[in-house]
Structure 1
Amino acid sequence: MSKVFTSPVYGVQAVPLEKIRANAYNPNSVAPPEMKLLETSIWEDGYTQPVVAYYLTEEDVYEIVDGFHRYTVILTSKRVREREGGMLPIVTIDKPLEGRMASTIRHNRARGTHSIELMSGIVAELVESGMGDAWIMKHIGMDADELLRLKQVTGLAALFRDAEFSAVRASTATGVI
C-alpha cells in the first residue's frame, strides 16, 4: 500500500528566526523597489504564503528552499519582525539536495510575469474607482513614470485628469527640451 501524499501547506508552523537560514544555491534576486513592495505587502497583508524549507535534523535548523525574500523582509524590517514576534511561517519538504535545488528553481520560474495590458486595465479600474496616483503608486509599488506608461497604454484621457507633469516631462513629451 502506498503512502498518501499530504501537501506541505497543511503543516504550517511558526519557527523562530534563529532556527532559519538561507540556502547557498538560490539564483533569484529581487530589485530594491520590489523588495520595498514585498515589505509593504507583508506589512499590509501579513504573511500570506509560508516559506518552504528543509529541516536539517543534525543542525536543528531550517534551510530555505523557497521564500528567501520573505525571510529577508522579516530580518530587515523591524516593524514586521516585532509584529510577527520573531517567528516565520514555515512548511517543510523532505527531499535530497538536488530535489531541493530543483524545487527552488521551479518555485522561482513558476511565478510568471505581469501582462502590461492586464496591469494597465487594473490601473484604469483603480483610477475610475477614485484612487489617486499616490495611492496607486504606494499600494501597487509603482513609480510615477511606470504609472504614466501604464495609463498611456490604455489611451483613456480620463486617466490623466489629475496628472501632474513636471516641466521636464512636459517638454520631453512635446519634443522641446
Structure 2
Amino acid sequence: MANIKLKAMDVVLADINDVYANDYNPNIMAKPEKELLKTSILNNGFCFPIVVIQDEDNKYCLIDGFHRFLIAKELKMPQIPVVILDHDISKRISATVQFNRARGTHQSLSMSKLVVQLIQNGKNDDEIAQELGMDKDEVLRLKQVSGLKAAFKDQEFSKSWEEFDNKWFPRK
C-alpha cells in the first residue's frame, strides 16, 4: 500500500488578506461556472480547502483553489481554510496543473509558458510529461507554441536530408 499523506486532514484557517494568487495558473473558468461555484459555496458551505505554500513572509501563495479564493474575497470572508504544502516552484507548478487537469481545461499558451518555466528549472521532457500528465508529443507541441529556442536546446532532431538521401540515393 502506498504511503499517501492525508493533507486534507491538516486544514488551517488563514486570514484571506495573507493569501495571494500565483503568477502561473493556466486555468480559466467561464462566468456561468463561476456563478455556479458561488452558489455552491453559499448553499453548501466552503467544502474544499485552498491549497497553498507558505512563503518566507508567512503569506500563502495559491497552488489550487484560485476561483474559490476569488469568491471568498467577493463574499468578504475574513478567513479561508487552507492546506499547506512544502513545494519548490517546480513542484508547485506541477501540483497546480495536476489539480486543474483532473477537473478542467487549460489555455495552450499558458501551458506552454509553464513547460518553458519547468525546462528553465532543470526539468526534462520526460519529467514534464510524467508530472503534468502529458505524453511527449504534447510537451513538444507546447514547446513549439512557446517559440522559445531554449525549450529545444536538448531536443534531438532527425536529419531528414540524410534519410531522404539514403532512401532515394543509396550508396553501394
What TM-score, normalized to structure 1?
A: 0.55
**Mapping of residues 65-104 of structure 1, within 5 Å:** 65-78=63-76, 81=77, 86-104=78-96
Q: Within the alignment, does 1:10 sit opposite 2:2 as a pair?
A: no
SS of equivalent to 1:101: helix
- The structural deviation recorded for 1:101 is 0.2
Post-superposition Cα deviations, 1:8-58, rounded to whole Å, max 9, x if no partner, equal 1111011111110000000001111111100000000001110000011x2
Q: Which amino acid aligns with 2:72?
A: I
Q: Which residue of 1 aligns with 2:43?
A: 44
Q: 1:70, 1:25 → 2: CA distance?
A: 17
SS of equivalent to 1:26: coil
Q: Which residue of 1 aligns with 2:21?
A: 22
Q: Which residue of 2 aligns with 1:154?
A: none
- Percent sequence identity is 36
Q: Which amino acid aligns with 1:108?
A: N
Q: Which amino acid aligns with 2:26?
A: P
Q: 1:15, 1:27 → 2: CA distance?
A: 24
Post-superposition Cα deviations, 1:93-140, rounded to whole Å, max 9, x if no partner, equal 111101000000000011169xxxxxxxxxxxxxxxxxxxxxxxxxxx
Number of aligned residue pairs? 103
- The structural deviation recorded for 1:77 is 2.5
- Would the alpha carbon gap of residues 39 and 14 (structure 1) be closer, same or farther in structure 2, given more than 3 Å must change? same
**Mapping of residues 96-135 of structure 1, within 5 Å:** 96-111=88-103
- The structural deviation recorded for 1:7 is 2.1
Post-superposition Cα deviations, 1:54-108, rounded to whole Å, max 9, x if no partner, equal 011x211010000000000011124xx2xxxx11000011111010000000000
Q: 1:52, 1:43 → 2: CA distance?
A: 20
- The partner residue of 2:57 within 56, 59, 75 is 59
**Stretches of 4+ aligned residues off by more than 3 angstroms:** none
Q: Which amino acid aligns with 2:28?
A: S
SS of equivalent to 2:25: coil
* Pairwise CA RMSD: 1.5
Q: Which amino acid aligns with 1:54?
A: I
Q: 1:87, 1:96 → 2: CA distance?
A: 25
Q: 1:33, 1:112 → 2: CA distance?
A: 14
Q: 1:22, 1:76 → 2: CA distance?
A: 15
Q: Which runs of 5+ in 2 are unaligned?
A: 106-172
Q: 1:105, 1:92 → 2: CA distance?
A: 17
Q: Which amino acid aligns with 2:87?
A: K
